[in-house]
């Protein structure tokens, strides 16, 4: 039997800033809409569980009554209520999406977007600022100039990208005199694309860490059910393997699913987006799961629906 692949117990560090954070991140995609007291509780629980990288974006809240900027505004209200929380975390945000456009990564826009995020967040510096999605009309040298300028002004500490291909990451990096700190792809036991498209390979090559969004496949890996017959068989097969791993480690299927992403050597940090404090605590158990090499490949094969050669 394969020896267990143990998760890194030590904290990760952010780029050249050296800021430390834990192996699981907390995401604010659905954060907007609650009151300040409830929002503060979620942040405090996440931090207490070692989820010390808090990931948000200016567009989060768009699908709620709070609207564009709603999640950042609420997080800023949390910092106002308890200023010390800002210094207990690595704060990550994203910009570059404009509903209806849909993308703008020109220097002028990114400068305005970052400054607006800082105002909503009630902070002077964003620790990790990421381009949310690639703008195919923005020259890479202009995007790089925006990030370099924001960094030189002290408005951001490090820069990264979200939903970029490996070639887009490389093209942007070519115009920067500091390393990009992060790639943020969708990655889960049901979304294996980063294993094969070069993104996780590039993280290892460049020394960037991977922030995995939707590591629980939008909740599918929690409830194990779908109305799509084409997905049902695959979901059932993956869930069955994850349940075996979960039982062996006395954790939930959700924790086992997060652990699947975390054992990859690209330093994958799954982003947990649950809005329930009890579930935040539950998913934090992913950091203590032991998964064998054989079990990891069993998940991959179940997801692919075929045996690896």
Domain ranges of the chain: 4-216+264-275
Q: List all residues 6 or more positions away from 267 whose beta carbon is below 8 Å from its beta carbon.
A: 8, 12, 203, 209, 210
Single out the catalytic residue among 12, 26, 60, 109.
60
Please determine, for residue 10, whether its predicted confidence score (pLDDT) is greater than 60. Answer: no
- Answer yes or no: 236 catalytic: no
Tokens (6 digits) for 198: 């070069």
pLDDT of the residue at 47: 96
Query: Which residues does residue 191 pair with via DSSP β-bridges, in sequence order?
Result: 188
Please determine, for residue 1, whether its predicted confidence score (pLDDT) is greater than 50. Answer: no
Quick: pLDDT tens for 24-58: 999 999 998 889 999 999 999 999 999 999 999 99
Quick: pLDDT tens for 266-299: 999 999 999 999 999 999 999 889 999 999 999 9
Query: Which residues does residue 91 pair with via DSSP β-bridges, in sequence order?
Result: 54
- Cβ pair 96, 60 in contact under 8 A: no
Query: Which residues does residue 95 pair with via DSSP β-bridges, in sequence order?
Result: 131
- Distance separating the N- and C-terminal Cα atoms of the chain: 19
Q: Specify the CATH superfamily of domain 4-216+264-275.
A: NADP-dependent oxidoreductase domain (3.20.20.100)
Omega cis (within 30) before 292: no
Query: Which residues does residue 188 pair with via DSSP β-bridges, in sequence order?
Result: 191
Say how far apart CA 263 and CA 248 lie, in whole Å.
16
pLDDT of the residue at 227: 81
């Amino acid at each position: 039997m394969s020896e267990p692949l143990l998760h890194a117990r030590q904290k990760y560090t952010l780029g050249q800033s050296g800021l430390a954070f834990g192996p699981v991140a907390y995401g604010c995609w659905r954060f907007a809409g609650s009151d300040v007291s409830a929002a503060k509780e979620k942040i405090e629980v996440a931090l207490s569980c070692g989820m010390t990288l808090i990931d948000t974006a200016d567009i989060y809240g768009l699908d709620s009554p709070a609207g564009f900027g709603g999640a950042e505004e609420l997080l800023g209200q949390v910092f106002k209520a308890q200023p010390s929380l800002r210094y207990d975390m690595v704060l990550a945000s994203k910009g570059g999406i404009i509903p209806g456009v849909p993308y703008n990564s020109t220097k002028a826009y990114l400068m305005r977007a970052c400054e607006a995020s800082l105002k909503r967040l009630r902070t002077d510096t964003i620790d990790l600022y990421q381009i949310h999605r690639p703008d195919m009309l923005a020259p890479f040298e202009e995007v790089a100039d925006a990030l370099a300028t924001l960094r030189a002004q002290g408005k951001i500490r490090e820069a990264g990208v979200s939903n970029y291909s490996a070639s887009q990451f490389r093209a942007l990096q070519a115009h920067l005199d500091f390393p990009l700190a992060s790639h943020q792809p969708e990655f889960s036991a049901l979304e294996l694309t980063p294993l094969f498209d070069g993104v996780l390979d590039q993280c290892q090559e460049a020394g960037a860490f991977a922030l995995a969004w939707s590591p629980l496949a939008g909740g599918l890996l929690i409830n194990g059910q779908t109305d799509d017959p084409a997905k049902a068989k695959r979901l059932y097969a993956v869930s069955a393997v994850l349940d075996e791993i979960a039982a062996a480690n006395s954790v939930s299927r959700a924790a086992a699913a997060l652990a699947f992403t975390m054992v990859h050597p690209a330093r994958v940090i799954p982003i947990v987006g649950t809005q329930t404090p009890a579930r935040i605590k539950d998913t934090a158990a992913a950091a203590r799961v032991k998964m064998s090499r054989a079990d990891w490949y069993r998940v991959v094969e179940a997801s692919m629906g075929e045996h690896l050669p």
